[in-house]
Amino acid sequence: MMLAYYIFFALVLCLIGPFLLINAKARAGLGQKLGRIPLDLVKAKGEIRGAMWLHAVSVGEFNAILPLVMALHQKYPRLPLVVSTTTKTGQDLAGQKLAGVARTFYFPFDLPFAIHSWLDFVRPSSVVIAETEIWPGFVDITRANGIPLAVVNGRMSPKSFKGYARWKFFFGPVLRRFSVIGVQNEDERSRYRAVGGSTLPVVVLGNLKYDGLVPLPPEKILALKSELGITDDTIVIVAGSTHEGEETAMLDAYASILQTALGQSGKMLLVLVPRHPERFDHVAQLIEQRGLILKRFSRGDRLDGAANPVFLLDTIGKLFDFYSLADVAFVGGTFAPIGGHNIMEPYAFGVPVLIGPRYEKTRDSAKALLAKDAIVVCQSTDALSGQLLQLLNDPILRKQKGMAGREILQESQGAVQNALEMLAPFIAKSMQDHG
């Protein structure tokens, strides 16, 4: 079975090989993905050997495990940690956030020669995988080498479940190779066991992403406002993690609001934060094409004196900080056919959220927020300006929705401590191996 899988994977890799070589984004880390160990890691071999290896495919998964990585480092400073990602954006963010905490590298392709290269080099005491990044070859070879495997923040959406269930004769044994699987909620546990069997060791941890949502201290928020030139009387709308079509919808809504009495009588600011860096310049063009004043984070632009500008946050890793400035937030991937991103982030600051109807990936969070009337779902982009305007015109309504969401967030935290308890046997073994 595994031989057939490796042959299939190799054929797919050969077919997409030209794309990997031509496309700069796809080409990032290609050598490491093929098993080449970079020189800086070779030099740090002594501090890496026997580390706990945590894997997060991209930015979203990395942000989910970041509070766990930091908790491991704080509680067990002698425990060596390494973190792998698959995407360049994930790698860049990991390198930025984990300097002095963990070494980072690209996750290998799911082929024996690449997997063995990294396993032989790191010789991890254990491997912890975020969410649903389950590669059969990596799992098989890792367990064959006697290395325990765990999942944290595990999720299996209803859509993904259909695929796993259809192929459970293959994926069931793969899941059973994990020592323990930590999932976000009871529904996830049921889906994992439907694929892997009723005795699959699944533990409900909660959502690690929630634990990382700790609001900035007031002095840091004031410093950010001062750095950008934002005054206290400015109404701020932050549109985070946006995709194609969503920036256009936000710009149209913003332009519509500027024509109202609210827009004409006060200072307003729209902050656009595209999900993917390769779209930054395109979004800048969209702003300029509408005749709006464009300010860019990458240029160090300030907002002093600008009449109702649009600020393009063209960097990664800063979105959460900018939610602290918002009066209202829109979370992307909910009009585009993505399924939504982290809709709980703005609530760390008591900021109410609007989303589109495509929130499949965040359905559990949305359900809890809807039950408390804490979130606004816009069924179409045409409804966006009206819903925004209603919130912007009603400070009391904004506060009610924002604080209701914040209460839900606070009640949902605690997953990091649950994950530490679940991983205690892994940690104990690693600490014993390192004296």
For 259-296, write each residue's pLDDT tens digit: 987 877 778 999 999 999 999 999 999 999 999 999 99
pLDDT of residue 13: 81
| HSE-CB of 332 using CA atoms within 13 angstroms | 22
pLDDT class for 433, splitting at 50, 70, 90? Answer: low
Helices 136-144 and 2-22 meet at what angle, rounded to 10? 120
Whether residue 403 contacts residue 373, with contact meaning beta carbons closer than 8 Å, is answered with: no
pTM for the whole thing?
0.83
pLDDT of residue 212: 87
Task: Write down the catalytic residue from 61, 131, 247, 345.
Answer: 61
Whether residue 128 contacts residue 152, with contact meaning beta carbons closer than 8 Å, is answered with: yes
Domains in the chain, ordered, with CATH? 14-212+414-433 (3.40.50.11720), 218-410 (3.40.50.2000)
The residues, any chain, with a CB within 8 Å of residue 368's CB and separated by 6 or more, are: 408, 412
pLDDT of residue 66: 94
CA separation for the pair 73, 135 (Å, rounded): 26
CA separation for the pair 83, 81 (Å, rounded): 7
Q: Encode pLDDT of 213-246 as tens digits.
A: 999 999 999 999 999 999 989 999 999 999 999 9
231: nearest Cα among 266, 257, 183, 200: 266
Q: How far is CA 172 from the centre of its chain?
A: 26
- Tell me whether residue 61 is one of the annotated catalytic residues: yes
CA separation for the pair 398, 404 (Å, rounded): 10
CA separation for the pair 224, 232 (Å, rounded): 12
Whether residue 89 contacts residue 62, with contact meaning beta carbons closer than 8 Å, is answered with: no
Structure tokens at 417: 């401590």
Residue 188 reports pLDDT greater than 70: yes
